[in-house]
Amino acid sequence: MIQFDRFVLSNGLRVLVHQDNSTPMAVVNVLYDVGARDEEFSRTGFAHLFEHLMFGGSVNIPVYDEPLQVAGGENNAYTTNDLTNYYCQLPAENLETAFWLESDRMLSLAFSEKSLDVQRKVVSEEFKEHYLNKPYGDAWMHMRELAYTTHPYRWMTIGKELSHIEQAKLEDVKRFFFKHYTPVNAILVVAGNVYKDQVRALAEKWFGDIPPGTRYQRNLPAEPPQVKPRRMELTADVPLDAFYKTWHMCARMDDRYYAADLVTDMLGGGGSSRLYQSLVKEKQLFSNIDCYHYGSLDPGLLVIEGKLVKGVQIRDAEAAVEAELEKMKTSLVDEKELQKVKNKTESIMAFEDMSVMNRAGSLAFYELLGDAQLMNSELGQYRKVTAEDILRECQAIFRPENSNTLYYLSNPEKEGKA
């Protein structure tokens, strides 16, 4: 059970305090309710580029990292399709340094041309390192465009193409900042060796006078239900054929989410999962295979992907995957298998909650979902899932017309030896 206190400043900033005096450290986590889904289709990659700029100095403080490191702290941040999260950890005695730094960059950035210029380059290198210069690195760009026709999950957080990042202008940066980086669109979590009254006083002092901003009204185009299967085939200089298939699934806050999550564990979680046992070990069609989903806040994708054993025909591999899914759609899983994936979920949650940093991040995430208390009640939701729920969910998800299949094939002329 994770205890926390919650209050809201007069400018709308939501503040959560999680006290754990067994640690000498404090964590300050600021979540902004903006992700890549909030970008315009002609300016993708912006939320993430912006995250980089948040370290390029704020209105009163020339650099972010240095004073934090002087205070014995470290920090990082990440951007997803749904949200942007900044977190730092430092010795609790120096907690106020984090308030000073985080509040100043919520107040306003320095908006320096030099910082924008450098971070455009840095993000371009990140783009190359992760998506262009790796075998199969662009598979997900293709898959997203195949699976989404309308919703902005169509592009990756890094952006649809390098040119969008290269063309970002300082005025875009400013507009984005004042639209999204405001107290009403943020959640502050302070955790560790801290006290509620102390945090309240510091929050009032440093964040209290920041103008509230306007609550961002998210109005994204919904993805229309898919009515026919979509397929795509591409050939590249990769050594092995790879298979990617996705199906649309429910949103994170849907009641059906818990069953869908457990389905991915049954199919692809670990050495006793169905796909691994059947297709890697027994039939030896794949050298590796995974099943997972993104936990997206809007309706997301359930994924099966794997690399084929050299010489296997990709249609045979796909048919074998479908045969496993057919079993899930036609017969009830037994209690033991269901209990297994529930136990695994319980264990993962306990491990995640070990670090104060993770607890702070989770509280911010659940508060964004609408109620931080969900952090303590979700395990109960998993425990309630029945074999019938699993069957129903598999029947709803694994329909051919709901699927997107990508064959990522090895160029036979270039690749001889496996």
The whole-angstrom separation of Cα 301 and Cα 314 is 22
Position 104 contacts another protein (CB under 8 A)? yes
Pattern 121-150, another protein, x by CB under 8 A: xxxxxx-xx--xxxxx--------------
Position 107 contacts another protein (CB under 8 A)? yes
Q: Which is nearer to another protein, 67 or 299 (CB)?
A: 67
Position 200 contacts another protein (CB under 8 A)? no
Determine whether 322 is exposed, middle or buried from the number of CB atoms within 10 Å of its CB (0-12, 13-18, 19+): middle
Pairing mode of beta strands 230-236, 403-410: parallel
- Tell which positions 287-326 bind another protein, by CB under 8 A: 287-288, 307, 309-310
Among the candidate windows 35-43, 143-151, 256-264, 282-290, which touches another protein by CB under 8 A? 282-290
Among the candidate windows 141-149, 170-178, 247-255, 340-348, which touches another protein by CB under 8 A? 340-348
Pattern 10-49, another protein, x by CB under 8 A: ----------x-xxxx------------------------
The terminus-to-terminus CA distance of the chain in angstroms comes to 50
Position 61 contacts another protein (CB under 8 A)? yes
The whole-angstrom separation of Cα 389 and Cα 260 is 9
Q: Which is nearer to another protein, 59 or 234 (CB)?
A: 59
Of positions 340, 390, 404, 405, contacts another protein by CB under 8 A: 340
Positive or negative CA dihedral for 330, 334, 337, 341? positive
Q: C-beta of 17: minimal distance to another protein in Å?
A: 17
Cβ density class 359-388: b for 16+ within 10 Å, e for less: bbbbbbbbbbeeebebbeebeeebeebeee
Cβ proximity of 360 and 29 under 8 Å:
yes
CA proximity to 306, closest of 241, 400, 249: 241
φ, ψ of residue 404 in degrees (nearest 5): -130, 125
Among the candidate windows 34-42, 64-72, 361-369, 385-393, which touches another protein by CB under 8 A? 64-72
